[in-house]
Amino acid sequence: MDYQFEKEWLEVQKRIERQFGEDIDLQGILYIIGVQELGKGFLKFKKDEKVDLMHVAICTLLEPYGYYRYEGRDDDGWPHFDRLEHLPHLEAVEQERLIKRAIVSYFKEIGEIG
């Protein structure tokens, strides 16, 4: 077990929970990152827009790993990415761990955790 990663992941979770005043699961964290990357604040989003926000988050998180490349924003201000490489087949647990590691890296990059 990677104790340093587990410690950092818990730090991210606690930080988000303190900020929003409630428990937030992995999908909720992806949604928050998507909203952050969209840069329009917390608006009322339709269901399909919420899915798009989570996609923006995943692309943003996996860009440093070489899976996506940021291309720019459309006329409505939504970020777009090109897929550079297919993700390897991962079991659900491995996939979740990859996303969590990317989230920890993201929060380190934006200076939210040490």
Using one digit for the tens of pLDDT, what is the confidence trace for 6-62? 999 999 999 999 998 899 999 999 999 999 999 988 789 999 999 999 999 999 999
Q: Is 42 helix (H, G, I), strand (E, B) or coil?
A: coil
User: Based on C-alpha coordinates, what's the Rg of the chain?
Assistant: 14
114 inside domain: no
Q: What sign does the dihedral 16-20-22-26 (CA atoms) show?
A: negative
pLDDT digits (tens, 9 = 90+) for 72-97: 999 999 999 999 999 889 999 999 99
95 inside domain: yes
Assign residue 40 a region: left if phi > 0, alpha if psi is -120 to 50, beta otherwise?
Answer: alpha
pTM: 0.89
Tally the domains of the chain: 1
* E runs forming strands in the chain: 68-73, 79-83
Closest Cα to residue 84, out of 105, 99, 63?
63
